[in-house]
Structure 1
Amino acid sequence: MFSIFTQPAQSSVSETQPSPADEGRGGGAPLGYSTSTDSKMKPSFVSGLFSLACVGLAAAHGDLLNDGCRPIAKRSQELQKRQLLSSGTGEGQSVSVGGGASAARYSCDPSTCQLPKCHCADTNPPGGLNPKDVPQFIVFTADDAVQDYTIKSVNQFLAQRKNPNGCTPLMSYFVSLNYTNYAQVTELYVNGNDVADHTMTHQEQPATDAEIDGNLITLNALAGIPYKSIIGYRAPFLNYSRANLEHLARTGFTYDSSSTASVPVTDPNTDAFWPYTLDNGMANDCNTVDNICAGQPKLPGFWEIPMYAIFDERGAAGAHLMDPWLDAANASDVLSWMKNTFTAHYNGKRQPFGIYTHPIHLATGYPGLKDPVDQIKMLNDFLDWATTSAEMQNVWIVSNKQLLAWMQHPVPASQLNTLDAFKCQTPNVNQHICNGFTKNNDLLEHCISNTAGDPLNNSPFYTCYGCPVTTPSPQQPNPPQRNNDKTLRTRIPNNCDTPFWDPVAAKCLCSGSSCAFDDSTRPIGPNGDNLTSSGGQNTGSSSASSPSVSSDPYRTFSGAAGRMPSSTVLAWSASAVLAAAAGAVMLVV
């Protein structure tokens, strides 16, 4: 099995240490080094091939625009998505109709499939709620690497907003590991966001078990997130197989969110189902993924959260999924698509509305590219409109984890404060420990190698949990700790949560009900009450402070405050120069 550090690491990895399944994941067999490739599926997205070439930029650090030098299009004027020439497909660029509800051959008895553990695929809200009482959820997700450009990108849409109960909106971040800064993943998690699995290296074909398991193990080891808290998965390029779903359920994941709802909610054949469990098989992507639907695969208690497309004036023939702002030269066109689709959801059965981003496409200050000012303004304008309209109340921006918490215990919008997942509770920790709080960033370790050719030189990072001797890989997702200073840090056990774990002292400050939180949740108010992004503050102007070779590129999720220790800047700048000299320009998709 894969090994993890639950005690102070020695010079090598013990093969007898517990697996994620042993550590509270539940759901079955220990993780293994399976390298077999799942059978190919027909992609659940349509091609649209551009002639593309690797972009040669001298980036300040591991470049997010060309991971592995995959052929991509420049984001600036062309507004084209990244593509894979080998397959002619783009990640969520446009959508194949999965056949709608009629193709599913789906059967489920709601009298026996009951919440919280089972739910039928259904366009009606759960719990028998009247749509007018149902919250209209905007599910905000981001995919790929976590580092300064992508965190800054997300912040410009969410950091200044509030939900109707005064809490800052949360999101789901599907993390792939190339060019990820693990300290920022830790911070995402301790701020309440849903950190989810997006494989280690973001391969084109349906993921091997090792790619999925390795991501889980590395996020636990280097971001300090308990196994039981990493509950979600999204397939790279949305390219998944039945075998992937079966492995996820077996390994103890709670949900997948790789399928597409590709028929408008106004169509009688819509496949825009509320999230559902796979007790009775899949009901989406039936014409585009092999060996699913018609009751298969049966995975009791495992949830599918469809990705809900938006539609242009062509209806089902004009579906857009990820990064729709890249699908038109005029951002105002995309704003119309989003408003029209959102209105159909709100005035109908209030199925969730999805905003599915690759944050790098909305990043500012990226070397060699024009800031996407129009697209940033468009998305902020949409969120302002959706959350402040007097005609549309009960609109909430949420993560997939929050959505599932509500699905399992559906309550009217007026009662969302009764669910812990929707409260704004900040861990109360006064000790000076390395736990993802920006005030403790002086305790972070900077992981970079002095050895020429070491992969760590291409993608250094910070972590609370001890630097590895080499970059994690599917073959070695949890390398031994480097021990240059003769001190080792202890990786988090599963009976402690990240804000309360001291990796230096190997001590859990509290567990369960003994842990203290500061609750700033306010009574639920009407939409439009202090919920906006403060207007022009988040337009992503090119004059904003941007990372450069001469500045520390890792800044925190909460903004400019709490920057990484200045002593690390010189080392990082040197590594960036080395990467640029080597001509390595990378993009995570």
Structure 2
Amino acid sequence: MVPEIIPAVSNDYREPSRDIPGGLKAEDCPQFVVIGFDDNRVSENLEWFLDVLKNKKNPFGKNNQKTFDATQIQLSFYMIGSSGPGMYSWKKAYDLGHEVGVHTFSHPHGIEHDGALVLKKLDYKAHQEEIQACIRELENLGIEREQIRGYRQPFLQYTMHSLAAVALEGLSYDCSIEEGVAFGEDGRNFYWPYTLDTGSPGNRYFFPKGHVQHILPIQGLWEIPVYQLMLPDMDAAIKHGLKNKAGAYYSLKEKIGTDRITGFDYNLWVLYKFTEKEFSTTLKYNLDLRLEGNRCPFTFGAHSDEYSAERASRREALIDFIDYALTKPEVRIQSAVNLLEWLRKPTKL
């Protein structure tokens, strides 16, 4: 059983809404891009990203620090604590201003299945132990406890137990719930991040009441969702130069047979075997949709372990997207915790 009383995480309150916070017009709203790397067990890969990104800056704007104008781009890194000893690249990321968060200590499954049968569910106390052990490793590297604010559940197998543990440990936000899944949602009108005071639309869509992953409200705990990636149609293929080996443009939506997939690089590289051009085109297309619509933050989940020197083309594809994003004057590539700062006090460009 989850604890009967879960303390309020904060006094923040935002219902799930497609409206831009603060009543801002789309043209006045920053277009946040939040790239969150999970695991981070290979220092060489992480060091490469840190070195490449350290000189990339957000558009100048009006030189307003409240909208992160002209700031260094910042990412979020969610660490597996058991890999912590000797991982000084984690401290380097922190020292460079990137966010460092929790991805548990041992990367356990939140739920164990045998087909449709749930065999075991990790309870909130076990989740707390995982979070605490990860935080200890981060502190051992010199990362300050009060700067550790975010959590991602391994395999996105969140439950009420995992979220209760996040709240009990005093973290500010979770980023494990999928949104953008319902009919009519198309990348232009996704829900903005919200607090879990009234639950989660994405959770209710996937996991109705009675399901093992259905969640109850938690006061003041923010959810920065994993948004679906819409797959490029023919118009997007033509715009971004997506061609097959014969030189013909093609629709990824038709090739894959669906219009959206979970917004994680694992799904693109591993499950659907995307080419590098398909990868970068998909990310660019989704940014284009955000800019056409309600400026909902574009969050993308990644794994730095998948970007080794031997997979240089993957590195190039991700950097190609980042460079494309930085050509848009409205874009601000920032960590999830910095997005949270803006959500609390929305400021126009």
**Fold shared by both chains (TM-score > 0.5):** yes
1:159 positional shift: 2.3
Aligned twin of 1:128: 23
Aligned twin of 2:33: 138
Alignment partners' CA distance in 2, 1:232 and 1:382: 24
Conserved in 2, the CA contact under 8 Å of 1:278 and 1:300?
A: yes
Aligned twin of 1:219: 138
Aligned twin of 2:72: 168
Alignment partners' CA distance in 2, 1:211 and 1:409: 32
Paired residue secondary structure (1:285): helix
Q: Which has the higher contact order (CA 8 A, sep 6+)?
A: 2
Paired residue secondary structure (1:201): coil
What does residue range 267-416 of structure 1 map to in structure 2 within 5 Å?
267=185, 272-289=190-207, 291=209, 297-312=216-231, 313-314=252-253, 317-323=259-265, 324-326=268-270, 327-364=272-309, 371-388=310-327, 392-413=328-349
Alignment partners' CA distance in 2, 1:157 and 1:138: 17
1:318 positional shift: 3.3
Alignment partners' CA distance in 2, 1:291 and 1:213: 30
Deviations 1:127-151 (A, max 9, x none): 1000111111110111113542231
Aligned twin of 1:195: 100
Aligned twin of 1:238: 156
Pairing 1:177–2:81 present: yes
Alignment partners' CA distance in 2, 1:304 and 1:256: 5
Deviations 1:164-209 (A, max 9, x none): 2332211111000233334332232232221111110111235523
Conserved in 2, the CA contact under 8 Å of 1:263 and 1:316?
A: no
The amino acid that maps onto 1:191 is L
Change (3 A) 1:341 1:296: same
Paired residue secondary structure (1:284): helix
Paired residue secondary structure (2:299): strand
Change (3 A) 1:225 1:311: same
Paired residue secondary structure (1:300): coil
Change (3 A) 1:292 1:235: farther
Aligned twin of 1:12: none
Alignment partners' CA distance in 1, 2:147 and 2:129: 19
Alignment partners' CA distance in 1, 2:174 and 2:26: 25
Paired residue secondary structure (1:310): strand
Alignment partners' CA distance in 2, 1:329 and 1:277: 34
1:153 positional shift: 4.1
Alignment partners' CA distance in 1, 2:264 and 2:306: 11
Conserved in 2, the CA contact under 8 Å of 1:146 and 1:184?
A: no
1:253 positional shift: 1.0
Deviations 1:239-294 (A, max 9, x none): 1101111221122111000011243896379883111111111222324346589x
1:297 positional shift: 1.7
What does residue range 514-553 of structure 1 map to in structure 2 within 5 Å?
none
Q: Which has the higher helix share?
A: 2
Change (3 A) 1:264 1:343: farther
TM (normalized to structure 2)?
A: 0.75
1:304 positional shift: 0.5
- For the pair shown, the structure with the greater C-alpha radius of gyration is 1
1:123 positional shift: 1.3
1:373 positional shift: 2.6
Sequence identity percentage: 26
Conserved in 2, the CA contact under 8 Å of 1:280 and 1:296?
A: no
Match of 1:118 among 4, 13, 34: 13
Conserved in 2, the CA contact under 8 Å of 1:242 and 1:291?
A: no
Unmatched 5+ stretches in structure 2: 1-5, 60-68, 112-121, 232-251
Alignment partners' CA distance in 2, 1:156 and 1:263: 36
Change (3 A) 1:156 1:309: farther
Alignment partners' CA distance in 2, 1:316 and 1:187: 40
Alignment partners' CA distance in 2, 1:162 and 1:143: 23
Alignment partners' CA distance in 1, 2:52 and 2:227: 20
Alignment partners' CA distance in 2, 1:292 and 1:280: 17
Deviations 1:488-538 (A, max 9, x none): xxxxxxxxxxxxxxxxxxxxxxxxxxxxxxxxxxxxxxxxxxxxxxxxxxx
Change (3 A) 1:404 1:160: same
Pairing 1:256–2:174 present: yes
Alignment partners' CA distance in 2, 1:233 and 1:118: 19
The amino acid that maps onto 1:377 is E
1:116 positional shift: 7.2
Unmatched 5+ stretches in structure 1: 1-25, 30-114, 365-370, 414-589
The amino acid that maps onto 1:373 is A
1:226 positional shift: 2.8
The amino acid that maps onto 1:384 is D
The amino acid that maps onto 1:162 is K
Query: RMSD across aligned C-alpha pairs, in angstroms?
Result: 2.9
Alignment partners' CA distance in 2, 1:292 and 1:223: 42
